[in-house]
Amino acid sequence: MFAYIARTVVAHPWRVIAAWVVAAIAVILFAPSLDDYTTGNQQTFLPSSFESSEAQAVGNQYFPSLSGATGSLVVVRADAAPLSPADQQTALNLATSLQNSAIPGVVSVQGSPASLSADGKAAALQVVFAGQPGDDQVNEAVPVVRNDAEQQLSGTGLVSGLTGNAAIQVDTTAAYDNADKVITIATVIVILTLLGLIFRSPVIAVLPVLVIGVVLAVVTGLTAVLADLFDFQVSTSLQSILVVVLFGVGTDYIVFLLFRYRERLRQQAAAGSTADTHREALVFSTDVVGRVVASSALTVIVAFAALLLAKLGSLTTLAPGLIVAVAAMLVTALTLIPAVFTVLGRHLFWPLGPGHDSPHTPFASIGAAIGRRPAVFAVVIGVALIALASFASGYKSTYNTLGELPADTPSQQAFDTLGKSFPAGALSPTQVYVVAPGPLDPAALTPLVTALTQVQGVSSVAPPRPSQDGRAALVNVVLADDPYSNVSLDLVEGPIRDAAHGAVPGSEVVVGGQTSTFVDVRAQLAADTRRVFPVAAVAIALILAVLLLAVLAPLNLLVCVALTFVATLGAVVLVFLHGLGYDGIDFSIPIVLYLFVVAIGTDYNILLASRLREEFRNGYAPRDAARIAVANDAPTVAAAGLILALTFASLTLTGLANLAELGFGVAIGVAIAAFAMAPMLVPSLSALEGRAFWWPSRQKAVVDTGDDREPAVPR
What digits encode the pLDDT tens for the residues 475-486? 999 999 989 888
pLDDT in tens, 430-467: 999 999 998 999 899 999 999 999 999 999 998 999 99
**CB contact at 8 A, 169 and 135:** no
The reported pLDDT for the residue numbered 647 is 80
Confidence of residue 42 (pLDDT cuts 50, 70, 90): low
**CB contact at 8 A, 363 and 344:** no
**CB contact at 8 A, 121 and 115:** no
Confidence of residue 179 (pLDDT cuts 50, 70, 90): confident
Q: Do domains 1-30+176-357 and 359-392+549-707 have the same CATH topology?
A: yes
Closest CA to 285 of 311, 306, 257: 257
* Biggest CA pair distance of the chain: 98
Report the C-alpha gap between 685 and 693 in whole angstroms.
Answer: 8
Name the average pLDDT for the chain: 87
Please give the average per-residue pLDDT across 630-659, as a whole number: 86
pLDDT top residue among 350 and 95:
95
pLDDT top residue among 205 and 405:
205
pLDDT in tens, 118-132: 899 999 999 999 888
Please give the average per-residue pLDDT across 1-22, as a whole number: 92
Lowest mean pLDDT among 173-177, 235-239, 317-321: 235-239
Report the C-alpha gap between 700 and 97 in whole angstroms.
Answer: 86
The reported pLDDT for the residue numbered 623 is 93
Tell me phi and psi for residue 299, to 5 degrees: -65, -45
CATH superfamily of 414-514: Ribosomal protein S6/Translation elongation factor EF1B (3.30.70.60)
pLDDT in tens, 84-94: 999 999 999 99
The reported pLDDT for the residue numbered 341 is 93
The H or E element spanning position 178 is helix 165-199
DSSP conformation letters of 681-701: IHHHHHHHHGGGGGTT----S
pLDDT in tens, 182-222: 888 888 888 889 888 888 899 999 998 899 989 999 999 99
CATH superfamily of 1-30+176-357: Multidrug efflux transporter AcrB transmembrane domain (1.20.1640.10)
CATH classification for the domain delimited by 359-392+549-707, as one of 1.20.1630.10, 3.40.50.300, 3.10.180.10, 1.20.1640.10: 1.20.1640.10
DSSP conformation letters of 146-164: HHHHHHHTTTTTEEEEEES
Confidence of residue 357 (pLDDT cuts 50, 70, 90): low
Q: Say what percent of the chain tops pLDDT 90.
A: 47
DSSP conformation letters of 496-514: IHHHHHTSSTTSEEEEESH
> Is the whole model's pTM more than 0.85, yes or no?
no
Say if residue 293's pLDDT is above 60.
yes
The reported pLDDT for the residue numbered 715 is 30
The reported pLDDT for the residue numbered 359 is 61
DSSP 8-class letter at 309: G
- Strand positions, DSSP E, 62-203: 70-77, 106-110, 122-129, 158-163
Rounded alpha-carbon distances, angstroms, from residue 335 to 222, 251, 606, 708: 19, 15, 21, 31
pLDDT in tens, 238-277: 887 788 788 878 888 998 899 889 888 888 877 776 555 7
Rounded alpha-carbon distances, angstroms, from residue 696 to 450, 557, 608, 699: 71, 17, 19, 10
Report the C-alpha gap between 690 and 573 in whole angstroms.
Answer: 37
pLDDT in tens, 602-617: 778 888 888 898 888 8
DSSP 8-class letter at 394: G
Say if residue 289's pLDDT is above 80.
yes
CATH classification for the domain delimited by 68-163, as one of 3.40.50.300, 3.30.70.1130, 3.40.50.620, 2.30.33.40: 3.30.70.1130
For the chain, which residues make up each domain, given as ranges? 1-30+176-357, 68-163, 359-392+549-707, 414-514
